[in-house]
Structures are given as C-alpha cells and as structure tokens.
Amino acid sequence: MIAHALDSLLNAGGNVSQVGWLPGARYLKTARGVVRVYDSRGTGPVVVMVPDGPNVIEHHKVVIELLTPHARVVCFDMPGFGFSRPGLSYDHSLKAGGETVLAVMDALEIKEAALHFSCANGFYALAAARIAPHRIRRLLLCQTPALEGMSAWVQRVIPWQVRTPVLGQVLVRATRRRVAHGWYAASLPDKDSRAPFRATADHALAHGGCFCLAGVVQGLIRADQRELEGVKQPVTLLWGDSDKSHRKTPVDSLLALVPHAQIQHFPECGHFPDLERPKQYAEISLAALSA
C-alpha cells in the first residue's frame, strides 16, 4: 500500500490541457483517481478502449476517427498512465481496475459497452465483464495471455528492481522516458514503426504524463486467475506475432481462462496490432459489434 501511495504522490499535478492535444478530452473524478477521458459522443454501439502505457489517448487518434462514424467511442487512460492520476489507494488490482472501468461508464451514463483493451489492461476488461456481465457486451483484446503467461512474461522482461515495491516506483518515475523508449524497442519490430510511438509518448511524459509501470506490475503479480473465471461474453484476441517481448508467450494461453475466445494473428505486427494496423483493426471491431 505504501508503494501505491508513493506512486500517487510522485505523479500528482500536471495537466494535459496546457499542451493542447486532442480536443474534447476532459477529466472525471472517480474513487480510484482523476481519469482523463475522450468521448466522441457518436451514435450507435459504445466502444470503450484504454491505451497500453506508455501509450496515451492520442496514440488512438486514427482508430477513434475510423470507428466514430459507426459507434460512440470512449478512450481513457487508466489511473497511473497518461494524464490519469492514481488515487492514494489505487493498487492496480483486478478489482480496482475493473471497478474503474465501470466508474467511467457510470460517469458517462453508459449502460452497455464493448471493451477494446490490450495487454495487462485486458485483465481489467475481463474483471469488469465478470463484475457486471449485463453491462459488457463483448471484449476485443490485444496481446493479452492468461495470467500465468503474463506472470512468466514479467519474470522474463521486467527487471527485479521494478518488481520491488517502493524501489520500483522511484526508479521508473526517475527514468520513465528512457524506460518508455526501451519498451518500444522491445515490443515493435523495426525502427520506422517505433518513431511515431516514441514521439507521442515522449511528448506526454515531458509534460508530466504518468507511466506507473512498477505499480501495475506489482498489482497484477498478486492477482489470482480465479478472479477472472466465468466470463461468458464473446472474446476476440488479436496477436502481433512480431512482438519480441512476447516471443516465448503461448499465444493460446488465454483459452485456459476463456475457452470460447477467438484468436486472430497479425504476423507483421508487434505489441500493438490495433495501432499498427488501424484500418484492419477497425474492420474487425465493427464486424464484432454487428455480430
């Protein structure tokens, strides 16, 4: 708890409104922290998506534009990422993450939505679907294995210092821009694809953006897969096969948790198939919404 409170204190202050980014983005106060959210206010089915840090809402601009004519698109940064400030008690647990998703839906008066989440955030989507199954119509996930697969990934990829409470929080905060650059090098297939991701993330971090990598790693290390069992909604998993960080992760491990999930491969994509192939992702998203 001390480590998570430290994250809150280290990431207090700062406001993206001074940067003049995506018009219409605003802030919502929730029990878990202040959340930055963009709402297209479109008509049709509701899609809720969350960037996979160090990505921020602006990384999803193209996808939002492609989906907005057909759906109401809501995109928000989870507490501790982008410009969403974590509260003192936010511990990145499955319960806290799932309840945050539902709190944002409540604040925007959204009764039902499809959740389009990726990587570790996929577990929060599953948690929300389990907490309130009547409000989540389906899930479209990217690069989300089973919890056991994620734990093995953390042991391989995340240094022990980052996994250590307090030490991890201080270390990541002090080196967040360098850590973000290194992460894109490990997760994207080539230099050309990394440059735009790095530029947008670096701009956010330079203006006070959050990247609580240590917090989310430490929060999910304690998670129990049984907390996610029983999800019945349709689930589609998109997997970038050129993600070097996940080269040893069994792609089909999620089936142990959600046996009915459908898996689609993106051979030339890295960790962000939704953002690396936005047109293809939008087509899959819209097909899923109309199914």
> Three-state SS across the chain?
CHHHHHHHHHCCCCCHHHCCCCCCCEEEEECCEEEEEEECCCCCCEEEECCCCCCCHHHHHHHHHHHCCCCEEEEECCCCEECCEECCCCCCCHHHHHHHHHHHHHHCCCCCEEEEEECCHHHHHHHHHHHCCCCEEEEEEECCCCHHHHHHHHHHHCCHHHHCCCHHHHHHHHHHHHHHHHHHHHHCCCHHHHHHHHHHHHHHHHCCCEECHHHHHHHHHCCCHHHHCCCCCCEEEEEECCCHHHCCCCHHHHHHCCCCCEEEEECCCCCCHHHHCHHHHHHHHHHHHHC
Residue 113 has pLDDT above 80, yes or no: yes
Residue range 18-40: mean pLDDT, rounded: 84
| Better-predicted residue by pLDDT, 281 or 9 | 281
| pLDDT score of 153 | 85
- The rounded mean pLDDT for the chain is 92
| pLDDT score of 74 | 97
Confidence of residue 66 (pLDDT cuts 50, 70, 90): very high
| pLDDT score of 86 | 93
Confidence of residue 124 (pLDDT cuts 50, 70, 90): very high
Residue 157 has pLDDT above 90, yes or no: no
Least confident stretch, 9-18, 59-68, 92-101: 9-18
| pLDDT score of 115 | 98
| pLDDT score of 131 | 96
Residue 88 has pLDDT above 70, yes or no: yes
Residue 137 has pLDDT above 70, yes or no: yes
Confidence of residue 19 (pLDDT cuts 50, 70, 90): low
| Better-predicted residue by pLDDT, 194 or 16 | 194
Residue 43 has pLDDT above 60, yes or no: yes
Residue 60 has pLDDT above 90, yes or no: yes
* Highest mean pLDDT, choosing among 216-220, 236-240, 246-250: 236-240
Number of neighbouring beta carbons within 10 Å of residue 163:
15
| Better-predicted residue by pLDDT, 63 or 151 | 63
The pair of three-digit structure tokens given for residue 63, joined into one six-digit string: 């996808």
Percent of the chain with pLDDT over 70: 97
| pLDDT score of 220 | 92
| pLDDT score of 264 | 96
Confidence of residue 229 (pLDDT cuts 50, 70, 90): very high
Residue range 106-134: mean pLDDT, rounded: 97
Of the candidates 244, 236, 218, 222, the one whose C-alpha atom is nearest the C-alpha of residue 285 is 236
List domains and CATH numbers for the chain.
2-290 (3.40.50.1820)
